[in-house]
Amino acid sequence: MTGAIVSIAVVVAVIGAVVIGRQMRNSRRTRLRQAEFPQQWSHILRESLPLYERLSEDIRRELEGLVNVFIDEKTFYGCAGLEITDRIRVTVAAQACMLLLGRKTRFFGKLRTIYVYPRTYVANGIYHDGMMVVEGQSVRLGESWQNGPVVLAWDSVRGGAVNIEDGQNVVLHEFAHQLDQEDGTADGAPILESRSSYATWARVLSAEYEALRRKEARHSRSVMNKYGATNPAEFFAVATETFFEKPGQMQEKHPQLYEELKSYYKVDPVQWQ
């Protein structure tokens, strides 16, 4: 009986510690979201991310609060001799946090570490060469590991931030994967607000994915990058890039897909144009 009482006491203590830890984390996040945004960071974004200037004052302030939390909670490491600076941290964080605007967020809860290379890098892995799945080396702009880090090439991050209308942005792409992976599976279906949302999401995104695959097979033009035809997870990441960078074109050519992403991300990028 004594052993059982001790075990119960341990469980209660652990649960209490977890609750207290969450309360402290949430309190810290609230303070950071309300804290003043460093002037130097604002200057970096005005130089590095033209989209920042297009946001309304309210949305810009929300983004700044999210960036404060992101930089406080995530650790950046430079690879291949790259020195991590505030410019790197803020430029990456601001683009990643575009995906969190207006939403109840876990702040990419599984992510702790971001590795940044100075430029495109070579990595070992398994990939599709157009005919079969092979193992070997490939040149990469970035990657997102489930329950692991995000890896980015700084030259691609910088280029994607400056050019906000080409539909290609490595940070938006890799952090869309992070959202997709939050439920433990990279399948193009992130955690949605309600069970009823999944049926429409699956219907719309599956149809659009198959349409992109057909266009890719015919070598037809598309608003979205053909890399999205690789699999449903890549389709969601590519669709996210297009939603934020080519919103007008997506709304015109793929209205149902645009509405699904607008409902999920809780923003309407067409208004920013």
- pLDDT tens digits for 162-206? 988 888 999 999 999 999 999 999 999 999 988 999 999 999 999
Half-sphere exposure of 177 (CA within 13 A, CB side): 21
- Please state, in angstroms and rounded to a whole number, the distance separating the CA atoms of residues 198 and 273: 29
Fill in the amino acid letter for 109. Answer: G
CATH 3.40.50.300 fits 187-273, yes or no: no
- Please state, in angstroms and rounded to a whole number, the distance separating the CA atoms of residues 204 and 196: 14
Fill in the amino acid letter for 245. Answer: E
Q: What class is the 12-180 domain? A: mainly alpha
Q: Are 186 and 233 in contact (CB under 8 A)?
A: yes
Which residues in the chain are classed under CATH 3.40.390.10?
187-273
H-helix or E-strand containing 84? Answer: none
- pLDDT tens digits for 39-61? 999 999 999 999 999 999 999 99
Q: Which of 220, 117, 212, 136 is nearest to 174 (CA)?
A: 117
Whole-structure pTM value:
0.86
47, two tokens:
């130089």
Which residues in the chain are classed under CATH 1.10.472.150?
12-180
The DSSP call for residue 163 is -
